[in-house]
Amino acid sequence: MARRTGRRPGKPDTREAILAAARAAFAERGFDAASIRSIATAAGVDPALVHHYFGTKEELFRAAMRVPIDPAALLPTVLAGERDGVGGRLVRTFLGVWDSPAGTAGVGLLRSAVNNEWTARLMREFLVTQVLRRVLDHLDLDPAELPLRGSLVATQLLGLAMTRYVIRLEPVASADPETLVAAIGPTVQRYLTGDVAA
């Protein structure tokens, strides 16, 4: 039985031990440096079992952070179309996820990231490796500028999530998504492809 997608069954203790080891590894060493092998060793299991339960390293990361969506699956929607529209499409896609039932998990993630340094590190790794890097890699930009551009996009999207879903400040809290795409899309577009240097 090598089911390749979705949540795997398995002994709850073993699953939880793997997820705890994964959280520690991703927070301490970062997503790129943490290996399935080292996570398996820390959890006292065979690497094949980690793959069997959780699939790829990306899937393990999402399971460890309890992220119910796969950002990679949304990427084609963001990238399809004019380069000048990628900011607006990113905002629209972001709102689509957060306005869905997955948004509840998002608020939980924000809450835990704010509450301690360790979960903040996980959130940072997730943002960079699973969301921002994937968009930026497709825009043919100067590699030296990517970190600043990515973290500027993060300021706007994290703040949108905080304002709409956590602080619930009106009218952003209940605005039609297209109102926010029109207002905030150009900001994200400038951070991605415009002039942001001092």
Residues at the contact surface with its own copies, assessed by CB under 8 A: 110-111, 113-115, 120, 123-124, 127-128, 147-148, 151-152, 154-160, 162-164, 166-173, 175-176, 178-179, 181-184, 186-187, 190-191, 196-198
Residue from 78, 62, 79 nearest 70 by CA: 62
Comparison of 37 and 66: residue with beta carbon closer to its own copies: 66
Comparison of 52 and 121: residue with beta carbon closer to its own copies: 121
Directed axis angle between helix 57-65 and helix 36-43, to 10°?
A: 50
Shortest gap between Cβ of 48 and its own copies (angstroms)?
A: 34
Comparison of 47 and 96: residue with beta carbon closer to its own copies: 96
In angstroms, the CA 116 to CA 163 distance is 20
Q: Is the peptide bond prior to 12 cis by the omega test (within 30 degrees of 0)?
A: no
Comparison of 55 and 88: residue with beta carbon closer to its own copies: 88
Shortest gap between Cβ of 145 and its own copies (angstroms)?
A: 10
Comparison of 1 and 144: residue with beta carbon closer to its own copies: 144
In angstroms, the CA 160 to CA 91 distance is 9
In angstroms, the CA 94 to CA 50 distance is 30
Residue from 17, 36, 16 nearest 26 by CA: 36
Shortest gap between Cβ of 146 and its own copies (angstroms)?
A: 10
H runs (alpha helix) in 30-138: 36-43, 47-54, 57-65, 71-79, 86-99, 102-115, 117-126, 133-136
Shortest gap between Cβ of 65 and its own copies (angstroms)?
A: 13
Shortest gap between Cβ of 88 and its own copies (angstroms)?
A: 11
Shortest gap between Cβ of 116 and its own copies (angstroms)?
A: 10
Q: What phi, psi does 67 have (nearest 5°)? A: -90, 120
Comparison of 120 and 141: residue with beta carbon closer to its own copies: 120
